[in-house]
Amino acid sequence: MLKFLLICTLAVASRAEIAEEEDVLVLKKSNFDEALKAHPNILVEFYAPWCGHCKALAPEYAKAAGMLKAEGSDIRLAKVDATEETELAQEYGVRGYPTIKFFKGGEKESPKEYSAGRQADDIVSWLKKRTGPAVATLAGVTEAESLIADNEVAVIGFFKDAESAGAKAYEKAAEAIDDIPFAMTSDDAVYSKFEVSKDSVVLFKKFDEGRNTFDGELTKEKLLAFVKANQLPLVIEFTEQTAPKIFGGDIKSHILMFLPKAASDFQDKMDQFKKAAEGFKGRILFIFIDSDVDDNQRILEFFGLKKEECPAIRLITLEDEMTKYKPDSDSITAESITEFCTLFTEGKLKPHLMSQDIPEDWDKNPVRVLVGKNFEEVAFDPTKNVFVEFYAPWCGHCKQLAPIWEKLGEKYKDSADTIVAKMDSTANEIEAVKVHSFPTLKFFPAGEERKVIDYNGERTLEGFTKFLESGGKEGGAPAGDDDDDLDAEDLDVDEGQDEDSDGEDGTDDDGHDEL
C-alpha cells in the first residue's frame, strides 16, 4: 500500500512540474511527453525571448488560453523557449519565431501547423474547428445570439432538413475553413429572430453591414467564395494580428493606403478609401497602413516610400511574381481610387519600377553601382560579362559578403570584358530580374542572347573567380532555379525582416535574408 501511495505521489509531483504562466503551460524537454499525455489537444508556441513578434503575440495567446480554460475546454495552450530547448526545436523543425504547432490526440508525430490569425478569437475558433464538428447545431435563439456575440465573424446555415443537398454543401464548405465558426439551425424561433423566411446562409460580422445573406446556388465552391468575400472588413488595417488573414486569403490583388492615423484628415481619407472599396469587393483587398508605426517602415521602404511622402496609394499583386502599380495622381478620393482600380482590373496599367538616380561616380570604383535607370544598358551590354550582386542595406549576409565582393571588383577592375557590380534592390527594380532574397548573385554573360545565370557556389573570392573564368559554368545554374522564392507572407514583418525573426541574427540559415 505504501509503495502504491509513493508511486501516486511521484506521478502527481511529475505533473505538478508543468508550470503555468497566465494559463499557458510552460514546456521543456523534460515535461513535453507528460504534457501531451495529460492534455491530448494542445497548441504549442515555440518562441524566442528576444523575438518582437513573440512578445506581440503573448497577450493574445494568454487571452486565448484563459478563454478556453474558463469554458472548461480540454484544449490547452503551451509555450516552449526554443532558444533553451534546442532539441525540441530541432525535432519539430523550428526555423523561425514564433512557430506554432497543434498536437491532437496526444500524438507527437506530424503536428498540424497553426494557420490562422494572431488574435485570441482567431486562435480559439481555429482550435475548436480542429477538435469539434465543423458545424455546430443551434437549438434555439439564445445559442444563436451567443455565437454571434462571441465571434467577430460567424456563419449560420438555416436549413429545415439537415440532410438536404444544400445543407450537405454547407457542411463541406465549413470543413474547408478553419478560422470561422459555422453553425446550423432548423428552429422556427431562430428563423423568426433573424428574419429568415427560407433555407439560407447568413454571415454575421461586427463591422461594415453587420450581416450578408448568401444568394445563389448552394454549392461548396460558391459558399466558400461568399464567405471569403465577406469575412474581412471593406478596409482592413495591416497589423501583426491581421497579416495572416491578409496574406493567407484568396484575394491576391491588394491596394494599400499609407497614411498616419494622427493626420487631421485621416477620417476623411479613410471614408473615401472605404467608399471606393465597395465596388471591388472580392476582387481587390483594400488595406490601410499607418505610416507612423515603426514596424511598418520596412513596408514603406519596399514600395520606395518615405514617411514624409505619405499619404500615398500603391497597388500590388501577389501572384507568382509581385508586381507593383502606382497611380498617376496623388489625389486620394473615391473617384481617383476607383479609376485606378478599374484600369488595373482591365489590364491597362503598367507596372511601377523603382529607380534611384544614376550616381555621377557609378563607374569610378572597382565595383560598379547599378540602378534601375542604367541596369539594362550595363548588364545586357553584348560586349561585357557582368556579375551583379543584388543586395539590401539591412541584410546581414550582404554585409558579410561586402569585403569579398570588393576584392572581386578589385581583381577585375582593369578587365576589358568583365564587370563586377552591385545594385540596392530595396530602391531599384528591373523587369528582367525578380529578386526574392538577399544577396542574390546573377551573371549576365556577353552576347546577344540576354542570358542570365544564377550563382549558387561558395561565396569566396576563389569560388567567384572560378565561376567567372569558366564563363558562368562552375557554380552556376540557369536563372529561375533559385530555391529562395518569396512568399506572399514575406511582406509581413514576421519573416526574415529584422533582428526579431527567423534566426537569431534575423536571417535564414541558408545564407539568405528574405525580402
SS3 at position 308 = helix
Average pLDDT, the chain: 86
Torsion of CA 370, 375, 381, 387, to 10 degrees: 50
H helices then E strands: how many in the chain?
16, 24
Residue 508's pLDDT is 43
Lowest-pLDDT choice from 104-108, 266-270, 407-411: 104-108
Confidence band of 243 (pLDDT split at 50, 70, 90): confident
483 or 403: which leads in pLDDT: 403
Confidence of residue 122 (pLDDT cuts 50, 70, 90): confident
Quick check: is 395 catalytic? yes
Determine the Cα angle at 241 with ends 236 and 246, to 5°: 45
| Cell 527567423, residue located | 502
Question: How do residues 170-217 score in pLDDT, each as one tens digit?
Answer: 999 998 887 789 999 999 999 999 999 999 999 999 999 999 999 999
Q: Which of 8, 54, 310, 341 is catalytic?
A: 54
Amino acid 129: pLDDT: 82
Residue 170's nearest CA partner among 208, 212, 220, 226 is 220
Identify the residue with better confidence: 14 or 348: 348
Q: Looking at residue 484, what is its pLDDT?
A: 34
Share of the chain above pLDDT 70, in %: 88
- The pLDDT score that the predictor gives to residue 261 is 93
Task: Specify whether the CB–CB gap between 447 and 369 falls below 8 A.
Answer: no
Catalytic residue at 54? yes
Question: Cell numbers 480542429 correspond to what residue?
Answer: 130
- Please report the sign of the dihedral spanned by the C-alpha atoms of residue 20, residue 23, residue 24, residue 29: positive
Listing DSSP states for 438-502 in one string gives: ESEEEEE-SSTT---EEE-S-SSHHHHHHHHHTTS-TTEEETT--S-PPPGGGGSTTSSSSTTSS
pLDDT at 495 over 60: no
Q: What's the average model confidence in pLDDT over 443-448?
A: 95
Bridge partners of 112, per DSSP, are: 102
- pLDDT band per the 50, 70, 90 thresholds, residue 477: low
What pLDDT band is residue 436 in, cutting at 50, 70 and 90? confident
Domains defined for the chain, CATH in brackets? 20-131 (3.40.30.10), 136-229 (3.40.30.10), 236-346 (3.40.30.10), 368-478 (3.40.30.10)
Q: How confident is the model at residue 273 (pLDDT cuts 50, 70, 90)?
A: very high
Closest among 438, 360, 435 to 399, alpha carbons compared: 438
Q: Which residues lie below 8 Å from residue 303, measured CB to CB, with a gap of 6+?
A: 256, 258, 312, 314, 316, 324, 354
Asked if residue 244 has pLDDT above 50, the reply is yes
Q: Which residue has the cell 546577344?
A: 448
Question: How far apart, in whole angstroms, are the C-alpha atoms of residue 363 and residue 95?
Answer: 40
- Active-site option among 8, 310, 341, 398: 398
- Is residue 43 very low, low, confident or very high in pLDDT (cuts 50, 70, 90)? very high
How many angstroms separate the Cα of 76 from the Cα of each of 4, 28, 35, 39?
Answer: 30, 15, 10, 7
To which H or E segment does residue 329 belong?
Answer: none
Sequence-distant (6+) residues with CB within 8 A of 86 are: none
Using H for helix, E for strand and C for coil, what is the string for 100-150? EEEECCCCCCCCEECCCCCCHHHHHHHHHHHHCCCEEECCCHHHHHHHHHH
Q: What is the chain's alpha carbon radius of gyration, rounded to the nearest angstrom?
A: 27
Residue from 436, 462, 442, 461 nearest 385 by CA = 442
pLDDT at 294 over 60: yes
Burial class (CB in 10 A: 0-12, 13-18, 19+), 48: buried
Q: Which of 206-220, 359-373, 484-498 has the lowest mean pLDDT?
A: 484-498
Whether this model's pTM surpasses 0.75: no
pLDDT at 480: 45
For residues 41 and 131, what is the distance between their CA atoms, to the nearest angstrom?
8
Closest CA to 144 of 113, 183, 118: 183
Active site residue 8: no
- pLDDT category at 468 given cuts 50, 70, 90 is very high
Mean pLDDT of 52-80: 93
Residue 415 has pLDDT above 50, yes or no: yes
Unique residue bearing C-alpha cell 490547452: 76
Cα–Cα distance between 130 and 101 in angstroms, integer?
12
Could you give the strand order of the β-sheet that contains 211-213, starting from the edge strand earlier in sequence? 135-137, 182-185, 153-158, 200-205, 211-213
Residue carrying the nine cell digits 562552375: 474
Tell me what pLDDT residue 476 has: 58
E runs forming strands in 192-262: 200-205, 211-213, 235-237, 253-258
Contacts of 197 (CB under 8 A, 6+ apart): 191
Segment 96-117 shows an average pLDDT of: 86
Contact 482, 454 (CB under 8 A): yes
Question: For position 249, what pLDDT does the model report?
Answer: 75
Q: What is the DSSP letter of 294?
A: G
Helix 396-411 vs helix 461-469: crossing angle, to nearest 10: 50
pLDDT at 241 over 70: yes
Express each pLDDT in 142-171 by its tens digit: 999 999 998 999 999 999 999 999 999 999
pLDDT given at position 246: 84
Please, which pLDDT band fits residue 320 given cuts at 50, 70 and 90? Answer: low
pLDDT for the residue numbered 314? 94
Active site residue 341: no
